[in-house]
Structure 1
Amino acid sequence: MDEVKVVVAHSERATLRVGDMFLKVDADQVRIDVEVESMALVPVPTPQVLWRQPPVLAIAAVPGTALGRLGEPSTASPAAWAAAGAAIRKLHDAPLPPWPGRGGRGRDELAADLDGECERLVTSGVLPADLVTRNRHVAEAALRPWTPVFAHGDLQITHVFVDGDEITGIIDWSEAGQGDALFDLATLTLGHEEHLGDVVAGYGTDVDLDVIRAWWSLRSLLAVRWLVEHGFDPFAPGCEVDVLRSQM
């Protein structure tokens, strides 16, 4: 029997790897529906769905290796990062899916969530007040109108796979839907600012870099407590707290 490896596990979902197959266990079947439907619609490489038996979705591993990891230098070439930007542009140019993004909060709701989270971070002592205040100010630029695109919604660096300079697959589509294009670009480059220029070059259109940086702050502020509470370490070198510090 192949070794069973726990890829990620927390109270919301778990992903196991058995040989060349991934088993995603998720009690939220709407999230799995979105993942399967998105992979069928998008014009970029995605994993093959092998079978589905709720609450489990089985998908095949994609070839290649992840573009990188948060907190570690990426060994991928500038051309691979540019290819990721081009793939994201192809996704964003695709017809909108018929469902909203699962994280698709309006500006007022997002601002209220951010204010509440900033207050909790300070009062609980998780982060110093000056760090929170500065990044809350930076995050303001993300709270603007945007034209919805077909967005991945959780385009972490570990979700994009490459072989040399070619994109071989983009995984984990459970948050996909109508969203902000710059949120996808910001999520991919979080903690890897040195590759932002490569991604934007591959994306091939003007991008407001201040909004990218605003999303870095906003995403990190909203994530820190959740990561701590679910057994992850946002204080590790190069991770979310370092991203917040870099904005100072």
Structure 2
Amino acid sequence: MDEVEVVVAHDERATLRVGGVFLKIDADQTRTDVEVEAMAMAPIPTPEVLWRKPPVLALAALPGKALGHLGEPSTASPAAWAAAGAAARKLHDAPLPPWPGRSLAEIASRLDGECEWLVANDVLPTGLVTRNRRIAEAALRPWAPVFTHGDLQVSHVFADGDEITGVIDWSEASRGDALFDLAILTLGHHEHLGDVLAGYGTDVDLDVIRAWWSLRSLLAIRWLTEHGFDPFSPGCEVDVLRSQP
């Protein structure tokens, strides 16, 4: 009999694996609605939806393995990283989803609030927060919206050899900034940015990519600490902030 593996669990959602099936349990069914519709619309491989009985969504496991994990060196080939960039470009060229993403004003307001919290609670040194808040400014500019995954972290992209076999966790998909997806894919894996951009196939503003690295890390730290994750682990969000020039 297959064992039950707890992939992730916190007070908002949990994911269990039983053999070749993933069971996603989410307290907010609107996130699951987005996930199912986004996977149906995406022009790149996604997990097969086996069944849905709220609050549970059952998905088939993808072949291959994740490109990597935050805080760990990736063993994936440069060609696999380039293929991930090509998949991102295909997604960004697809028709827009019908639902909007967060506005610039919403992102800027949340960034200000999180920076204030980090300093007020002595989570990070003021200078580190201030420097990265300044770097993040470059991301806060108008962009032409594209179909974004919204959480395209390296552990959500699966490959078998040099081929991408699928992308998981679409609950944050929306209209958004293409460079946000590219930044999240390479967060903590800066050395693979060149491979990703080679596959993506178009020039991008590297300052904006770096800005999204800072912005995403600043926004994530409170949520991570409150949900049982450690952004201070080597190679994770705090190290990303420290590595920014």
**Secondary structure in 2 matching 1:173:** coil
How far does residue 115 in structure 1 lie from its aligned partner after superposition?
1.2
2:204 is the counterpart of 1:207: yes
What CA RMSD, in Å, does the superposition of the two structures yield over aligned residues?
0.7
SS at match of 1:155: coil
1:178 maps to which residue?
Answer: 175
- Partner of residue 116, structure 1: 113
Q: What is the aligned partner in structure 1 of residue 71 from structure 2?
A: 71
Work out the CA distance in 1 between the residues paired with 2:20 and 2:63: 10
Residue 71 of structure 1, CA deviation: 0.4
Structure 1 runs of 4+ with >6 Å offset: none
Deviation at 1:63, TM superposition (A): 0.1
Query: What residue in structure 1 maps to residue 36 of structure 2?
Result: 36
Q: Which residue of 2 is the match for residue 239 of structure 1?
A: 236
> Which residue identity lines up with residue 70 of structure 2 in the other structure?
L
> Hey, what's the Cα distance between the residues in 2 that align with 1:84 and 1:110?
26
1:203 is matched by which residue type in structure 2? Y
Amino acid at match of 1:237: P
Partner Cα distance (1:80, 1:233) in 2: 28
Aligned counterpart for 2:130 among listed residues 124, 130, 133: 133
Aligned-residue offset at 1:2: 1.1
Shift of residue 109 of structure 1? 2.3
Q: State the shift of 1:83 in Å.
A: 0.3
CA drift at 1:107: 1.7
Q: What's the TM-score, normalizing by structure 1?
A: 0.97
| Structure 1 gap segments, 5+ residues each | none
Matched, 1:107 2:112: no
Aligned AA (2:240): V
Aligned match of 2:164: 167
* Residue aligning to 2:217: 220
The offset of 1:47, in angstroms, is 0.4
Secondary structure in 1 matching 2:57: strand
Query: CA offset at residue 210 of structure 1?
Result: 0.4
Query: How many Å separate the matches in 2 of 1:50 and 1:84?
Result: 25
Deviation at residue 108 of structure 1 after TM alignment = 2.1
Separation of aligned partners in 1, 2:110 and 2:171: 21
Query: Within 1, Cα distance between the matches of 2:165 and 2:217?
Result: 28
Question: What is the identity percentage for the equivalent residue pairs of Structure 1 and Structure 2?
Answer: 80
Residue in structure 2 matched with residue 7 of structure 1 by the alignment: 7
| TM-aligned CA deviation for residue 97 of structure 1 | 1.0
Measured in 2, the distance between the counterparts of 1:82 and 1:48 equals: 24
Report how far residue 88 of structure 1 moved.
0.4
Structure 2 residue runs without a partner (length 5+): none
Q: What SS is found at the alignment partner of 1:8? A: strand
Query: Structure 2 CA distance, aligned partners of 1:108 and 1:45?
Result: 33
Equivalent residue of 1:162, what SS?
strand
Matched residue of 2:34: which SS? helix
Kindly provide the amino acid, as one letter, of the partner of residue 90 in structure 2. Answer: K
User: What secondary structure, in the 3-state scheme, does the structure 2 residue paired with 1:44 have?
Assistant: coil
Partner of 1:89: 89
Write the deviation string for residues 192-211 of structure 1: whole angstroms up to 9, x where unpaired. 00000000110001111100
1:152 pairs with 2:157: no
Paired with 2:171 and 2:110, the residues of 1 have a C-alpha distance of 21
Work out the CA distance in 2 between the residues paired with 1:109 and 1:7: 31
* Alignment TM-score, normalising by the size of structure 2: 0.99
